[in-house]
Structure 1
Amino acid sequence: MSRTLRLLASLLLAGAASLAGAAPLAIATIVQGDVAVLRDADRLALAEGVRLQADDIVELGAQGRLVSIEFDDGAMLYLGPGSRVLLAPRLAGERAKARAYLLAGWAKLVAPAGGEAALASALVDLGGRDARAVLGLVGADRAEVFAEHGELQLRTPGGPLALKQGDFANVGARGRPETAPRPTPDFFQALPRPFMDSLPPRAKLFATASPTPKPLGSLGYADAQAWLDAEPALRRAELARWRALARDPAFRDRLIADLKLHPEWEPVLFPPAPASSIRKP
């Protein structure tokens, strides 16, 4: 099968997956400040009680302070200022288990009682059973992980790593992570204050409510750029998500201008002619 046919096949499968994933996945139960959800080609204002779906992107704006997302099985995800996450990323292998992909900011993941939960990012993936974990992306090439409760399994550029309750890890783009039996003072200084509290579940408060998020406008290239230029595995997995936007001439022009940052778009933007249309000499 040619590269183009393989790409088209993956896009069709991804499209089918997105239709299947349109059912609610979680509920936003706390929304403080300026928070948006990017869904399909729209930017929407996130509010408490809004049902979230696979492929939704949640972003805290300049005035965003806290978001709590509660999944159907009881898992919880808290987001701090400046955070950007993609829910249920279409990653391969073990990474497919991730509840979300953290592109920027801070996240606290709480596994459901007796169950597992995982979180992915460019520098480190983490997961555990009956665990509570904090992940902070504190620089372009540095992440910090705190095993607040339970044991965590990490996948890092330097190899797998296990953390026991209370352990702290400083993960860089190269080499083994640095670990310590407790977080640093700088970590606690940067940690979003609500992450220090045990926030109770609130999903039942919205059992009979299903508010519709307010439209804020259409998505442009600037909204998608950081995701289009993310790590290769995520770019390839989520290519179908942005394909409809590429029909917009301005969006397409920017894709072409930055093609070296996302080369997987080349066969989409410039598909080769069908073999049957090529004349033999």
Structure 2
Amino acid sequence: MKRSSFLFRNFFLWFFSWLFLFVLAIHNESEVFKTLLIGVLLTCIAAMAAFDNMDMNEKKKKAREDIDNYMELIEIISTRYFSIKKICEMCNRETNIDHRYTRGLRIPELHVPTMYGDIKFSKYGFIVKGMSKFSFDDDEDIKYALDLMNYINIESSYRNLISSIALRNQQHRDIIDRLNDKGEYQGADFFMYSAREYSSVMSFYEFSSYLKQTERIIIDMNYLIEDYKRITMGLKFCIDKLFDNEVAKEYGGIFEVPLYEDPIEFKYVNLSEQELLKLDYPDFPHNVA
């Protein structure tokens, strides 16, 4: 541990100076001077012990802060993961059932609970320090989990996802209001407007953009879930080297959240090339099934 006090940093300078004066006092048989020098030595040793204790306490305080920040980070990741996963599975289920390009119309308003504000990445210095404890030959998941830029990118992806969902929700409400204003429901699906009814109150550009945005949101949710899983997988293999073992014992050990073991009930199914082409097909609304 790096010593911060003057006495530790300049130990040899002041100790040899003291030793020289002490030898000089013995040579001159000066009892008063010897007593004074012994007192100075004891005072310096006591001060060094006090400073050492302060350094140790400061080190433990920082280690506790690192563990607290780690737990906060894991809590944020876990909360966001599960709030997105539930919605993602619902959307993925629709892509398994419906393979038409209009399947985005089956997706209702999406609501993702946002329990945390912006993440302060300056609190996660332990991640940056952890990079120096591993070689470039280590597991790819470890390197991924110890790269702070990945956390910044994931946070940016999360914020973009929330913004996209909010925009789609507003568009969804506007479209439903227009459909409701047209009069009595005439759709073929129970409690659902048909694709033709949607197309009757929207331009081709709006119709196509709405469907593309819905597909993009579902894809982004799936990517984000995999990113959260990969982070927890990497932390699993390096967590023991990130924190002070003695301080970790005060917490009963450092826990992990194995999101990487959590299965996704439904996987996203891509639209076929033929269906994707229909999103840009000019024969609107006749191409709407």
- After TM superposition, the score normalised by the length of structure 1 is 0.21
Kindly indicate which of the two structures has a greater share of residues assigned to helix. 2
- After TM superposition, the score normalised by the length of structure 2 is 0.20
Highest RCO, 1 vs 2 (Cα 8 Å, sep ≥ 6): 2
Kindly indicate which of the two structures has a greater share of residues assigned to strand. 1
